[in-house]
Amino acid sequence: TLKYPDIIPIGTNCEMSETRRKVVEAREGVNAYKNNIELVAQGIALRKEIASMLGYDSWAEYICSKRMSGSYKAVDDFLSSLEAKLMDTAKENYDTLLQLKKQHCLEQNVEFDEKLNAWDTGFYNNILLKTKYGVDAEKIREYFPLDHVVETTLLIYQELLGLTFEELHKGSFWSWHADVRCFHVCDSISKENIGHFYLDLHPREGKYGHAAIFHLVKRSVGGQGAVDCMLCNLPPASSDGKPSLLRHQNVVTFFHEFGHIMHALCSEGIGNMTHLAKCPRDFVEAPSQMLENWVWQKEVLERLSKHHETGKPLPDVMLQSMIKAKHVNVALNSLRQIYLSRLDLTIHGTNPPENAARLQSLVDELRPKITLTENPPGNNMLRTFNHLMNQYSASYYGYMWAEVLSADMFATRFEKEGIMNSSVGMDYRKMVLAPGGTHNITDHLAKFLGRPPNDEAFLKSRGITKMDV
């Protein structure tokens, strides 16, 4: 299939460049998804029309005015500043991978085309991790069996946020598939009902192809808790009985998405008063992004890892190599996020592309300009970029915006006071998660941090500036 559990191993491990190219083309090429670019053009035209009716120059200006950023200009300035700060380091990242490609082509006796193609970056990044940092993703997988990762993640969240999870027996709850699990959540001390969550972890025909959560039932008066569902596409156990083994990035994804479940359940808004239950789209990723830090901490990795045969945790030498390699090529990878954000804002700008041809021209122009990598002829990210056809339209920048806030929260409180400090965890639950979208998000963060948020921790994490944390 073209789902992530199938295509990511090909993109990072397949020696044959042509095979990697065919996978990229199958996902983004002219024959992918019935060539749906005209539908994208229709959708953005309708949004422009709606924005005009509401008195805004563009859909992007309308959406940004409703977000934490407050305006399109604030987002434009944010992305421009970040791109400028990242570009020099990103070019160094690019050159490093290009030299690896040159050497690899020489060893394989194949022609070197003197550039990184869209299907090259993941493969040569993986080679860099193996050769320079000793990080072998396939070896590391052996220490992350899915069942252990899931159970340990649930324990960590319970400890951190003062919650208790109880799994319901099969047959005692409504379900749409036999693999789905359901849990009841309550406060550990008061036993107050918080709600329920579903886990639907494996890919199958017709299932949504990304990791996401869905709100099924809202909290209401009378004790009805929220009900939320977490969908993932993590690899299932093999037919020969070998357990499902996760890449470390899969572990990060699971921890991240479960953070969304906790945000949804711990928000204290009632019923359809959505201003109480929801927060701005450019903040909603911050809590989960902050929690990704846990799966890079030694004391947590020692708990999350358990070799599927020996039962031993991840060896310290492998663990330290992973931690050292955490920010490898981070500048180049961040430019990709900026590219996607720019693409989103541009198609929702004052003069949106009118048809498929203009959308194609835009992608062909923006991708090499920002990411340093050419767009393959005829390929178009918009064919699969479903964020832009849902609630992330003109809001994809929110991932980068939220990273600034998440880095500040982690460095200022948890990194200083202890990543498993339950007192800090309860402050986080009550000061950041519980208020939802009420009042001003910046005020909630200032209360948690003890000062207004800033970007110093974020810049340090990207190697752009140095600071004392």
> Rounded to an integer, what distance in angstroms lies between the CA atom of residue 132 and that of residue 146?
28
The whole-number pLDDT of residue 324 equals 86
Burial class (CB in 10 A: 0-12, 13-18, 19+), 206: exposed
Is 186 strand, coil or helix?
strand
Query: From first to last of its 469 residues, what are the pLDDT tens digits of the chain?
Result: 777 778 888 999 999 999 999 999 999 998 888 879 999 999 999 999 999 999 999 999 999 998 989 999 999 999 999 899 889 999 999 999 999 999 999 999 999 999 999 999 999 999 999 998 888 888 999 999 999 999 999 999 999 999 999 999 999 999 999 999 999 999 999 999 999 999 999 988 888 888 889 989 888 777 788 899 999 988 888 888 889 999 999 999 999 999 999 998 998 866 544 444 467 888 888 999 999 999 999 999 999 999 999 999 999 999 999 988 888 898 999 999 999 999 999 999 999 999 999 999 999 999 999 999 999 999 999 998 888 888 889 999 999 999 999 999 999 999 999 999 999 999 999 999 988 767 778 889 999 999 999 888 987 877 666 434 3
Hey, is 193 helix, strand or coil?
A: strand
| Distance separating alpha carbons of residues 391 and 16, to the nearest angstrom | 38
Predicted local confidence at residue 37, as pLDDT: 93
Alpha carbons 16 and 460: distance in angstroms, whole number: 37
In the annotation, is 257 catalytic?
A: yes
The CA-atom distances, in angstroms, between 243 and each of 10, 155, 177, 182, 314 are 20, 21, 20, 21, 17
Those residues whose C-beta lies under 8 Å from the C-beta of residue 76, and which sit 6 or more positions away, are 345
In 3D, which of 254, 249, 252, 292 has the Cα closest to residue 122? 249
Q: Which amino acid appears at position 313 of this protein?
A: P
Question: How far apart (Å, rounded) are the C-alpha atoms in residues 337 and 358?
Answer: 22
d(CA 14, CA 10): 5
Q: What is the pLDDT of residue 2?
A: 78
The distance of Cα 307 from the centroid of its chain, to the nearest Å, equals: 26
Residue 272 has a pLDDT of: 45
Query: How would DSSP label each residue in 84-131?
Result: HHHHHHHHHHHHHHHHHHHHHHHHHT----SS--TTTHHHHHHHHHHH
Written as six digits, the tokens of 292 are 């990704």
pTM for this prediction:
0.81
Return the beta strands (E) in 139-180 as ranges. 163-167
Whose tokens are 């319970």? That residue is: 158
| Catalytic choice (25, 28, 61, 257) | 257
According to the model, what pLDDT value does residue 39 have? 93
pLDDT computed for residue 278 by the predictor = 65
